[in-house]
Structure 1
């Protein structure tokens, strides 16, 4: 049985429909921005904090649209699973990689699969977004 890491993740898009994906320092997989909870935080509070710390976005909790709670193999911790509360948000700013984020990329949906992706992104969120886009979700 794998250890579980509780996280929050954001499906962050801009007005043009591009997705923000991040890569942490010393890793190869791109993923949705987000991170771990701090003690006492709600999922919304954690994601607002993580997006501010990692990308410089100043957001309000009420701007986050809940998508669901999902699990997948952890991208960077062997033998672990992530248990993620996922929210959608549209942002106006480009953001800047900070804290442990080495790279921020804005990509169109048809460009995403050319990147090395974290399992949550590749196996759970992209199929969900594709199903919603075709009306089969």
Structure 2
């Protein structure tokens, strides 16, 4: 039986309809911004905390629209599964990599990606993103 890492993650969208992917320092795979939910912490509060710590982005709970729970093998912890509470968040604010984030990239649903992606991002979240109603890109 796999050990589970419970996280809150953002399908973060900019005004052009692109979504933000992040790569943590010392890793290769890009993934959604977000992070571990602490004991007793509501997922949306964990998301707001992580977005501020990782990207300097401040959001309110009402800015996050819950999309559901998604699970996949963890990208950076062999033998672990990541279970993500996924929220859609729109922002026009600039983001800057901070804390453990080494690189950020905005990607479009219409363009093929050559980046190495975390399983959760590649297999579940990006396909969901591509099915969202089209916005400018």
TM value normalised by structure 1: 0.92
Give how far 1:111 is off. Answer: 3.8
Look up the SS of the partner of 1:110 in the other structure.
coil
Give how far 1:40 is off. Answer: 2.0
Instruction: Quote the Cα distance in structure 2 between the aligned partners of 1:38 and 1:96.
Output: 24
Give how far 1:50 is off. Answer: 0.3
Aligned CA distance change for structure 1 residues 132 and 109 (closer, same or farther; 3 Å)? closer
Instruction: Quote the Cα distance in structure 2 between the aligned partners of 1:98 and 1:132.
Output: 29
For structure 2, the residue ranges without an aligned partner over 5 or more in a row are none
Equivalent pair of 2:66/2:86 in contact (CA under 8 Å) = yes
Relative to structure 2, which stretch is displaced further, 106-115 or 33-42? 106-115
Look up the SS of the partner of 1:88 in the other structure.
strand
Where does residue 47 of structure 1 map in the other structure?
A: 47
Could you list the structure 1 runs, at least 4 aligned residues long, displaced by more than 3 angstroms after superposition. 131-134
Which is helix-richer, 1 or 2? 1
- 1:24-60 Cα deviation digits (max 9, x unpaired): 0000000000000123210000000000000001110
Instruction: Quote the Cα distance in structure 2 between the aligned partners of 1:103 and 1:126.
Output: 18
Instruction: Quote the Cα distance in structure 2 between the aligned partners of 1:123 and 1:11.
Output: 14
Instruction: Quote the Cα distance in structure 1 between the aligned partners of 2:73 and 2:17.
Output: 27
Aligned residues: 134
